[in-house]
Amino acid sequence: MSEITLKEALEDALHKEQMAYEFYMQLHDMLKDLGAKAIIKELASEEVKHKEMIEEAIKTGKIEHIGMETKYYSSDLGISKMVLPQVITDDMSVQDVLRIAMKHEDNSRVFYEKLAEKFAGSEAEEFFRRMAVEEATHRNKIQNIYDDIVYNEN
């Protein structure tokens, strides 16, 4: 494992959150389905909240207070492991958009889990674990929406 400072890790996380926001906004701009657009817009706003938390941590040098009240218990429905569309198009189904979003959130969860491993035994580990939980929460929320849509259609 290569060494990385906490500041560098936070800067990487900030960059990841900015890229996630841009991804969701590009997806939002190309979609036609209003329901899918609303879901994607909400996900983009969550990425903004993450960016703000990380920016505050970088600015103050303090991470111990961020997200410490967060508690979430859930299980992965496994939907994000389904085959994804190869190309994003403006006429994609809501299900395809949701599957892409789930996979994106799951990748973010893994990113934060790896950072938590790098900072094992420190306050930073707890912060990155909480960020991983945030991403898993988003993925699970999307999975539940997906499940509701598929269930209602069948």
Q: What is the pTM of this model?
A: 0.77
Please give the single-letter amino acid code of residue 145: I
Which stretches of the chain are DSSP H helices?
Answer: 6-30, 34-60, 94-118, 123-153
**Residue 18, CB half-sphere, CA atoms under 13 Å: how many?**
8
Residue 12 has phi, psi (to 5 degrees) of: -60, -45
Over residues 13-33, the mean pLDDT reads 87
Q: What is the pLDDT of residue 114?
A: 92
Residue type, 67: G
For the chain, percent of residues with pLDDT exceeding 70: 79
How far apart, in whole angstroms, are the C-alpha atoms of residue 50 and residue 69? Answer: 15
Q: What is the C-alpha radius of gyration for the chain, rounded to an integer number of angstroms?
A: 16
Query: Does residue 18 have a pLDDT over 90?
Result: yes
Domains of the chain: 6-153 (1.20.1260.10)
Task: Retrieve residue 119's tokens.
Answer: 């900072």
Place of tokens 């999307």: 142
Question: What are the tens digits of pLDDT across the range 80-126?
Answer: 454 454 566 777 777 888 888 888 888 899 999 999 999 898 888 88
| Residue keyed to tokens 């189904």 | 93
**b/e map 133-149, b = 16+ CB within 10 Å:** bbbbbbbbbbbebbeeb
CA distance 4 to 149: 42
CA distance 23 to 8: 22
Q: Would you say residue 69 has pLDDT above 50?
A: no
Q: What is the pLDDT of residue 23?
A: 86
